[in-house]
Structure 1
Amino acid sequence: MQLLILSLVLFIGLHLIRVVVPDLRRAMIDKLGKPVWGAVHGILSIVTLLFLAYAFDQARGMYGTLYNPPVWVAHITLTLMLIAVICLVAGFLPAGHIRTKLKFPLLVAIKIWALSHLLANGEPEAIVLFGAFLAWAVLLRISMKQRLRNGEIKLPVFVSAKYDLYAVIIGVVLWAAILFKLHELVIGVSPLVM
């Protein structure tokens, strides 16, 4: 579990630099330039994410189960994940109604993903992982709200409702791919096994 906690601290800490130590980020951008800082941050993000996946895999099954969710919770989780994937896709498309109403659809997707997995998993390592991601997304949302008030960022401006349709269609296809193959391939567990 210590390895999992360390990996979470590294991954989430890296992604909270702007929130916790904004002067460090600015200093790194001044020293390296924005493209180089972006590349370094991106590479570190991938490395810490891979470390996080490894640490979670190592912790899996070592600590038993704190609770066994009822079978019907799996149906709620699958439905919430459909919504999360649609929000995720909307966050990468030009603004439709979904993106403009949610303001930060990627953070909404992370919160829904984490919450739905907290509902469905009673293992201590899962609770630590998904609880940490939920807390991280909440902190980022608070930070984004502050940055919005300070004028550092702007809300997306509505472009067309067709992007909502694209988000739903691509989201459903991606959700189905995750549900029927990708989750088992990447995580080793089928979400359809209840």
Structure 2
Amino acid sequence: MWVMIAGLVIFFAIHSVRMVAPGFRTAQIGAQPGRWKGLYALVSLLGFALIIWGWVLFRPVAEPVYDPPIWGRHAAMALVWVAFIMVVASNINMPAGRIKHWVKHPLLLGVGLWSIAHLLANGDMASVMLFGSFLVYGTVNGVSAMGRGDPAPVVTGPRGDVVALVAGTVLYAIFVLWLHGLLFGVSPLG
């Protein structure tokens, strides 16, 4: 459990710099953007690796916290599909479509939907800690982003939406049919 907690703290600490110390972040990017990006990536990967390692250690012994609803798995499948579309739509190299324009921060919405989906399907302490912390982070970051008053991206045409829908659906299918079971030992299909 403590390895996963350490990973979550490290991962969210670096991802929260923009919310808690925007001036520091701006100064770092202004001074040496490559150094900041490298440090950000390194700390993120360290946190992510510890989260995965901690999950592998903690999940088998995690106590149940609640019984997920019977319909939770079915709802999770739909929510994760939409989450994949949101994550693809958030790509900065993707032309802005209506999804990116309306949602404004599709990655944060995708993280929130992914978290809620997994909380509906899993009720053990490891899941509550992992997915609950991502839900809290996504919510706090979303509120922070709204407070910054970032303008909505200007719609450049339907291409971004089509790519997000198609690529998000293909990635979702690959993940559900193959990768989820391979990486996590659990097939979402049963």
TM-score, length of structure 2 as denominator length: 0.92
User: Could you tell me which amino acid in structure 1 is paired with residue 171 of structure 2?
Assistant: L
Tell me the distance in 1 between the aligned counterparts of 2:99 and 2:162: 10
> Which residue in the other structure is 1:123 paired with?
124
User: Could you tell me which amino acid in structure 1 is paired with residue 120 of structure 2?
Assistant: L
Stretches of structure 1 lacking an aligned partner (at least 5 in a row): none
Tell me the distance in 2 between the aligned counterparts of 1:48 and 1:66: 25
> Which residue in the other structure is 1:24 paired with?
24
Preserved contact between residue 69 and residue 120 of structure 2 (Cα < 8 Å): no
> Which residue in the other structure is 1:107 paired with?
108
Matches within 5 A, 1:9-158: 9-29=9-29, 33-92=32-91, 93-148=94-149, 153-158=150-155
Tell me the distance in 1 between the aligned counterparts of 2:185 and 2:10: 24
User: Could you tell me which amino acid in structure 2 is paired with residue 144 of structure 1?
Assistant: A
Fraction of identical pairs, as percent? 34
What do you get for the CA RMSD once the two structures are aligned?
1.5
Distance 1:138 1:162, change over 3 A: same
TM-superposed deviation, 1:69: 1.8
TM-score, length of structure 1 as denominator length: 0.90
Stretches of structure 2 lacking an aligned partner (at least 5 in a row): none
Paired residue total = 188
Q: Deviations over 1:151-171 (max 9, x none)?
A: xx4421101112212211111
Distance 1:166 1:26, change over 3 A: closer
Tell me the distance in 2 between the aligned counterparts of 1:79 and 1:91: 19
TM-superposed deviation, 1:94: 1.3
Distance 1:159 1:10, change over 3 A: same
| Mapped pair 1:163 → 2:164 | no
Preserved contact between residue 84 and residue 108 of structure 1 (Cα < 8 Å): yes
> Which residue in the other structure is 1:187 paired with?
184
